[in-house]
Amino acid sequence: MNIPQDQKTSPVEISPEPVPETNGSSTPEVVTEEIVETEEIVEPEELTEKSGKKSNGKIWIGFDLGGTKMLCKAYDAKFKEVAFRRRKTKSRKGEKSILDRIVDTIEDTLEEAGKTKSDIAGIGVGCPGILDLNTGTILNAPNLGWKKTPLKKILFEKFDCPVVIGNDVDLGVYGEYSEGAGKGANSVLGIFPGTGIGGGFIYQGQILRGTRSSCMEIGHVCVQADGRMCGCGRRGCLETVASRLSIAAQAAQAVYRGEAPVLRELAGTNLADIRSGAIAESIEKGDESIKEIVITAAEHIGRAIGNMVNLLAPEVVVLGGGLVEAMPTLIVDTAWNSSKNQCLKSSEDSYKVVAAKLGDDSTVLGAACWAKHTFSDNQKKG
């Protein structure tokens, strides 16, 4: 899941605070382009190994569309995976090329599952950018170069089955609610620190959303009124102090000042190299300054959680993304403890904070589950 801003998965620029110059020295050169941590994609044909499973009856298709990769999985009625395909998005090739690759990826998944389009019960797609959830249109997705792309209509016409699109973070949280760390809970708040910080909230099976678009832009909750400038144009947003990009920027300064010798050897001061795994390894091997940076970031996330507990009273708070996966105990425990100082005393024991369980599958599985909820469960209720 690319979660990760003014869109929940678009890149933000966060420059480190200047380091005071000493004897003519200057601050480290910092690269601030988008950094996306993804697993290697297999070539040629850009297809992963085959799952080799077969399924009787209808299948649900989940699709995770990101700026660098796309992932499609087919599930049976009990949401056991029966087939999958992964491809590079190749967003620079333009809208038509990406749409063709989406269709090809779904068709390849069907072939692997031994199915045809008549066997699809429904398709759910997790998308980046600003969406019109009512029409199924991607209004603006900078990572894809899309504007006003009617994705729902295109897929419906191609596969002749029900299609629903949703914000990728919302569907990632829905995946954790349905089949992951929040399974069985009445309500789940999800927070995913990455390049920015995405959020979602599920209440009794429904995704909290606006009239037309998604909401829960928790990365843009103000935590420092006079803080750093955020990519959204405002100051002091949560993601300026607690996103992976922000942590990496602060870590680069610590390396430059000679305070993180382990990280210097692992990654230097280039943000492109200061990834979650390197940060976790540097802490494990004794870089106390990096540990303090991560703890401070987790405390900020905890304060945001406490505020959300006061507003929404979630039963479970799920923290996910590569940063949390690399340091689950440190980040989850710190955030949970910090949240208790922010929420009302009466709510201190009403919720728990846990690490996500589904990893990269949260959005693709959540998209399939949301399709079933939209097209099957709701029809039963009606």
Instruction: Please give the single-letter amino acid code of residue 263.
Output: L
Chain centroid, CA 82 distance in Å:
24
Express each pLDDT in 222-281 by its tens digit: 999 899 999 889 999 999 999 999 999 999 999 999 999 999 999 999 999 999 999 999
* Closest-CA residue to 278 (of 258, 263, 293): 263
How would you write the pLDDT of the chain (382 residues) with one tens digit per residue? 544 444 444 333 334 444 333 333 333 334 333 434 433 343 334 444 445 455 568 999 999 999 999 999 999 999 999 999 999 999 899 999 999 999 999 999 999 999 999 999 999 999 999 999 999 999 999 889 999 999 999 999 999 999 999 999 999 999 999 999 999 999 999 999 998 999 999 999 999 999 999 999 999 999 998 999 998 899 999 999 999 999 999 999 999 999 999 999 999 999 999 999 999 999 999 999 999 999 999 999 999 999 999 999 999 999 999 999 999 999 999 999 999 999 999 999 999 999 999 999 999 999 999 999 999 866 555 4
CATH class of 181-357: alpha beta
**Span(s) in the chain for CATH 3.30.420.40:** 59-166, 181-357
| Those residues with Cβ within 8 angstroms of residue 23's Cβ, 6 or more apart along the chain or in another chain | none
198 to each of 10, 168, 319, 358, how far by Cα in Å?
Answer: 10, 9, 10, 16
Express each pLDDT in 129-139 by its tens digit: 999 999 999 99
Distance CA 86, CA 319 (A): 25
Distance CA 250, CA 212 (A): 37
**To which H or E segment does residue 179 belong?**
helix 168-179
Distance CA 314, CA 81 (A): 29
Instruction: Please give the single-letter amino acid code of residue 13.
Output: E
Write down the pTM of the prediction: 0.84
Rounded to the nearest integer, the mean pLDDT of the chain is: 87
Instruction: Please give the single-letter amino acid code of residue 211.
Output: T
**CB-based contact 28:43 (threshold 8 Å):** no
**To which H or E segment does residue 88 belong?**
strand 81-88
* Closest-CA residue to 250 (of 28, 23, 64): 28
- For the residues of 9-52, what is the DSSP string, one character each? TS----PPPPPPP-TT--PPP---S-----PPPP-STT------
CATH T-level topology, domain 59-166 = Nucleotidyltransferase; domain 5 (3.30.420)
Distance CA 257, CA 28 (A): 9
- 3-state DSSP percent of the chain in helix, strand and coil, to 5: 40, 20, 40
